[in-house]
Structure 1
């Protein structure tokens, strides 16, 4: 066995990455900047994967900081033998990739043996879509239309109504919705509400554009108008905000603190359940799938769907290959289409 492996306890994902980088003659400040390229959530996500890698290395006498490509493949094969699916195995590969290029070089990421192994896993255990079918947003919208007028709703009902409407008409992740700040909301009276999201989001990439959420004033059915619901929520919560509390969503219970992504997700999931959907089958994230699927079935262009849902990388690639600009949804076609589908009750 490698001596230091017997002495060292598992020190965590962040510490392993730092230890690896420190062996490349980098100064502490340089290491800090490199490590800032990854979010705290990423470190937490990969921590269990690296713990498995550390234990495997220790059991087989491998220096976990200086393995061979064969060592890595054998490790991934052990994860496969334990019944793991492609996504889990790929997460372990990505976790190890956080620091191994500093030792093996960038060729590790392009090693043909690694690529072939992952292709083999995919063929043997292909990734299946989470949902074989999805639900019609009209089911939820009809439920929300009964929550009216907005100004007469209690804060809990109004909070859950607004969060669910935003999830449907923007098709964005819950994390993006929790980043909405009051000072980034621009209300254009009787036209639309524009919401800028300057904070880093999960899908942020170099040279990618930040989300710009657009909420229409839906005059055909004010009961489910996202813009009016947003204004009502801001007015109702104005006196509950203390100090420089600038986040849009706050807890409906005292002390009305800033809302986490997990709590906002619970709000939306509770609304789906109250609407009659089976939340053991459909999670909060299914709003994204349901909204984009419905928009596509209603004839909304793929460019607009990608732009609305924040799939900026796919949209830019599509536009580049076809040598034309990305279509901008000036008329809120995506949101208008979703809000107009209340007459259909079937599952797609």
Structure 2
């Protein structure tokens, strides 16, 4: 059962289980054999203490895994969660987003890449990958140099590792970075190649992850470190990081691509959206014909660049 959920989900559920353990001890309830009425009381108590709808929904999922008995699908629990939502509706994290051009204009001054220090080219690559692929930082942290393949038009990166959106019968993401021949200062493919060159003699033996720390001993880094680099670049570019996190690159890039007229099918495929966005794909009903369309639209580069 535990193997069916990710490590991050387990960390999230552990919060629920600590709260549930305390609740059961205080009320003399069997932790692993509690009645549905106890679950409802537990959720209501948390709601009265200020828990959001999203948090309560997470607690419901965690308890459903622990207790079974169809807690997650019980009509009374569903009705309770609906009441929580109506009384305290959840809202999107961002009501607006920032223009990628602001950041791209800033990092375009970090050129030529061969003149950059390791920290600068590392941050430049991180932000360009985030914007041009619209993938989560988790995905970027899993890029292996052994899965990077150069083509005539750009660079393809395979991601065979399990990520947040991985599931049975679902394709693993393939990232594509086109060459911007006439705009090399923000070319994601060139920046990747230059980064590999800059780190080739620094990379410890056996280290295949793309991103390394910019200080000795140049070890592989976590997704949290990459997020910090992206957020630093956003701040340096004038983006308000008190509002926008590193994950906002996903919002900004997909919004920019949509505004530039890129079809929803291309946006969905590039960003790794699942069938939950199929309604939009069917509405626009345009085929994916250009792998580099997303990155070029985000960076404001035309087909001849």
TMscore range, shorter length: over 0.9
- After superposition, residues 182-193 of structure 1 pair within 5 angstroms as 182-189=145-152, 191-193=153-155
- After superposition, residues 163-178 of structure 1 pair within 5 angstroms as 163-178=126-141
User: Could you report, residue by residue, the CA deviation over 1:36-55 in whole angstroms, capped at 9, with x for unpaired residues?
Assistant: 22222221111111101111
1:157 to 112, 120, 126: 120
Q: What's the C-alpha RMSD, in Å, of the aligned pairs?
A: 1.9
Aligned to 1:93: 60
Aligned to 1:311: 273
1:210 aligns with 2:172: yes
Aligned to 2:91: 128
Q: Secondary structure at the match of 1:239?
A: coil
Taking a change above 3 Å as real, the CA distance of residues 49 and 329 of structure 1, as seen in their structure-2 partners, is farther
Q: Secondary structure at the match of 1:193?
A: strand
8 Å CA contact 2:260–2:297 kept in 1: the answer is: yes
Aligned to 1:334: 294
Q: Secondary structure at the match of 2:200?
A: helix
Aligned to 1:29: none
Q: Secondary structure at the match of 1:36?
A: helix
Could you say which structure has the larger radius of gyration? 1
Taking a change above 3 Å as real, the CA distance of residues 341 and 277 of structure 1, as seen in their structure-2 partners, is farther
CA positional deviation for 1:231: 0.2
1:227 to 172, 175, 189: 189
Q: Secondary structure at the match of 1:52?
A: helix
Aligned to 2:106: 143
Unaligned runs of 5+ in 1: 1-33, 343-348
8 Å CA contact 1:303–1:315 kept in 2: the answer is: no
TM-score (norm 1): 0.83
Taking a change above 3 Å as real, the CA distance of residues 92 and 326 of structure 1, as seen in their structure-2 partners, is farther
Q: Name the CA distance, whole Å, in 2 between partners of 1:99 and 1:325.
A: 42
Taking a change above 3 Å as real, the CA distance of residues 161 and 121 of structure 1, as seen in their structure-2 partners, is same
Aligned to 1:259: 221
User: Could you report, residue by residue, the CA deviation over 1:202-235 in whole angstroms, capped at 9, with x for unpaired residues?
Assistant: 1212211101000010123110000000000001
Aligned to 1:27: none
TM-score (norm 2): 0.94
Unaligned runs of 5+ in 2: none
Aligned to 2:11: 44
CA positional deviation for 1:324: 11
Q: Name the CA distance, whole Å, in 2 between partners of 1:229 and 1:113.
A: 54
User: Could you report, residue by residue, the CA deviation over 1:5-49 in whole angstroms, capped at 9, with x for unpaired residues?
Assistant: xxxxxxxxxxxxxxxxxxxxxxxxxxxxx3222222221111111
- After superposition, residues 287-326 of structure 1 pair within 5 angstroms as 287-315=249-277
Q: Name the CA distance, whole Å, in 1 between partners of 2:283 and 2:111.
A: 46
Q: Name the CA distance, whole Å, in 1 between partners of 2:301 and 2:239.
A: 17
Q: Secondary structure at the match of 1:99?
A: helix
Which sits farther off after the overlay, 164-173 or 36-45? Answer: 36-45
Q: Secondary structure at the match of 1:98?
A: helix
8 Å CA contact 2:183–2:301 kept in 1: the answer is: no
Q: Name the CA distance, whole Å, in 2 between partners of 1:341 and 1:64.
A: 58
